[in-house]
Each structure stands twice: as C-alpha cells, then as structure tokens.
Amino acid sequence: MAELGIILALLISLYAQYKVSSNFNKFSKVKSEKGYTGAEVARILLEKNGISNVTVTKVAGSLTDHFDPRSNIIRLSEPVYDSTSIAAIAVAAHETGHAIQHDTGYIPLNIRSGIFPVASFGSKLGIYLVMIGLVIGSLGNVFVSIGILLFAFYVAFSLITLPVEFNASSRALNILEENYIISNSEVSSAKKVLSAAALTYVAAALSAVFTLLRYLSMASRRR
C-alpha cells in the first residue's frame, strides 16, 4: 500500500512540476493591464499592510522566489522581479503573502519555522538511520526507531506547509483584487499559476506520508 502511495505521489509530483512550468511560461507572456512589475507589486502590498521592515530584492534563477523570515527579505527571481506579466504578479503577491503571515504571527507559519531545523536534519539523516538499522544486528531496532522519529518531523513539516502555502495564495489573490492590481478577468489566470504551485506541496506531503508509512511497515516486519 505504501509503495503504491509513493508511486502515486511521484506521478502527482511530475504532473505538478509540468503544470507549474507550463502555467508560468504561459502566463509570463500575458501582460497585466495595470503594468506593475513583480517587484512593484510586492512593495505596494507591503506598504498597504503597513510592513516597512521587509525589503524586496532580485535573486538569480527561475522559480527561485521565496520570503526569508530570518532577514525579512522577499527574494524574487529574475523572470518575476522586472516582469509585468500575470505570472510575475501572482508569484510576487504569493511571496508577499508569506511576509504578511510572518508580520501577523500566523500560527502555522510559526510552527513550520520552529520545526524546520529538525525537519531538514531528519529528512536526510532519518532515511540513513532507517536503512542502516534494517541491515545491522540487535541495535538495528534502535537505529530504525530514531530514524523514523527524525523523519516524522519532516512529515510534520510537509503537512504544516500545506495550510501555509494555501493561505499565502489566498491572501495574494484577495489583496490583488482588493487593491485593484489585477482586474476581474485576470483573477482566474493568476489563480491557475498559484494553484499549480500549490500542487507541488501536496505531492511532497503525500510522498513524505507514504514514505513514513513504508518505514513503519518495514520496522514492524523486522520486529
């Protein structure tokens, strides 16, 4: 069952990556009616929400956009920062949504930030410990248990990421509409860009859950 789940999650992940790439490429060619760049949209939304301690900078690469809560910086990729496309505006607004979450103390974001160090550690070391534990002698059960516990933090991180990302996208669309940055006819296009991106997090969460179930099944058979 867990193996089938992992395969399903992999297929969803591949589909999600395709949708993200295709939607972004499609709507990056559609210019917004108001003509704001991604960077301008981010700064406007920050100002509208009374946030003055967050800066907006450009980062190399494509789809490398993110908000860094440690340094209070919204980093927008080159195709987003200077572009006036619907895709660029949607992505910039989404990352600004994270900045607003951080400013308002959005609880799921705080939880995610809190478990991130252990989750990042557990996603790598946990797998190694489980694999080592399955092939060694009497101490194997200890390694497997510790590995599963560490990996469980990564699963929790993946799951709590879902409401964080969905909420950021919802905030982005609402703010864009409320401030008349995009027209009603452009909302559906922006939503397609953000929905495709959200699907990648769903795939990651499913993969993490089914992987954990697989490890638990392997540990049970070992005992």
Are 47 and 56 in contact by the 8 Å Cβ rule? The answer is no
- Residue from 40, 78, 95, 178 carrying the catalytic annotation: 95
Active site (annotated) includes residue 178 = no
Bridge partner residues of 55 (DSSP): 73
Euclidean distance between CA atoms 165 and 116, whole angstroms: 15
Tokens matching residue 89 = 């505006």
Tokens matching residue 88 = 């660029």
Using only the alpha carbons of the chain, give its radius of gyration. 20
Euclidean distance between CA atoms 178 and 193, whole angstroms: 19
DSSP assigned state of 63: S
The SS3 call for residue 55 is: strand
- Please report, for residues 104, 146, 155, 160, 164, the alpha-carbon distance to residue 108 in angstroms, rounded to integers and kept in the order given: 11, 25, 14, 6, 6
Tokens matching residue 204 = 């990651």
Catalytic residues: 95
